[in-house]
A and B are shown apart, each in its own frame.
Chain A
Amino acid sequence: MSDRQDTRPETGAFFARDRNLHPPALAPGYKTSVLRSPQRALLSLDGTISEITGPVFGHSMLGELDNDLIHNFAKAGESAIGERIIVHGRVLDERGLPVQGALVEFWQANAGGRYRHKKESYLAPLDPNFGGCGRTITDENGYYFFRTIKPGPYPWPNGVNDWRPAHIHFSIFGHGFVQRLITQMYFEGDPMIWKCPIVNTIPDRGAIEQLVAALDWANTIPMDSLAYKFDIVLRGRRSTLFENRPEGN
Chain B
Amino acid sequence: MVQELKYLKETASQTAGPYVHIGLTPNFCGIGGVYESDLGASMVNDETLGQRITVTGRVFDGAGAPLKDALVEIWQADAAGLYNSPSEMRGTADPNFTGWGRCPTSAEDGAFVFETVKPGRVPFKDGRLMAPHITFWIVARGINIGLHTRMYFPEEAAANAEDPLLARIEHRQRVETLVAGGEPPNYVFDIHLQGERETVFLDI
Contacts and interface: CB of A to CB of B under 8 A. Distances in A.
A49 to B, nearest CB: 5
A232 B11 contact: yes
B44 interface: no
Contact of A45 (B19, B31, B168): B168
B144 interface: yes
B51 interface: no
Contacts of A37: 62, 142-144, 193-194
B75 A181 contact: no
Contact of B126 (A38, A42, A248): A248
B76 to A, nearest CB: 8
For chain A, the bracket of interface size reads 35 or more
Interface stretch (B83-91, B108-116, B153-161, B179-187): B83-91
A225 interface: no
A117 B9 contact: no
B55 to A, nearest CB: 16
Contacts of B14: 23, 169, 182-184, 198-199, 201-202, 211
A79 B126 CA distance: 56
Contacts of A57: 39
Contacts of B148: 51, 178
Contact of A131 (B31, B137, B143): B31
Contacts of A206: 9
Instruction: Give the interface SS of chain B, mostly helix, strand, loop or mixed.
Output: loop
B176 interface: no
Contact of B62 (A35, A50, A66): A35
A33 B144 contact: yes
A158 B203 CA distance: 29
Contacts of A60: none
A53 B88 contact: yes
Given A17-B10, A23-B12, A107 B22 contact: yes
B20 interface: yes
B139 A50 contact: no
Interface string A231-249: 0111110000001101011
A116 B22 contact: yes
Nearest to A40: B198
A125 B2 CA distance: 58
A202 B199 CA distance: 24
Contact of A118 (B29, B77, B201): B29
A65 B34 CA distance: 8
Contacts of B141: 32, 36
Given A51-B135, A234-B11, A235-B10, 18 more contacts: A16-B203, A17-B203, A25-B143, A25-B144, A33-B142, A33-B144, A35-B193, A37-B194, A46-B125, A46-B204, A49-B88, A95-B8, A115-B19, A120-B19, A134-B23, A180-B73, A183-B11, A184-B15
Closest 3 CB pairs of A and B: A107-B23, A32-B142, A36-B142
Interface of A: 9-11, 15-19, 21-25, 27, 30, 32-40, 42-57, 61, 63, 65-66, 72-73, 92-96, 105-107, 115-120, 131-135, 169, 171, 175-178, 180-184, 198-199, 201-202, 204, 206-208, 210-211, 232-236, 243-244, 246, 248-249
Interface of B: 6-24, 26, 29-31, 33-36, 39, 61-63, 65, 67, 69, 73, 75-77, 83-89, 98-100, 107, 122-127, 130, 133, 135, 137, 139-148, 150, 165, 168-169, 174, 193-195, 198-204
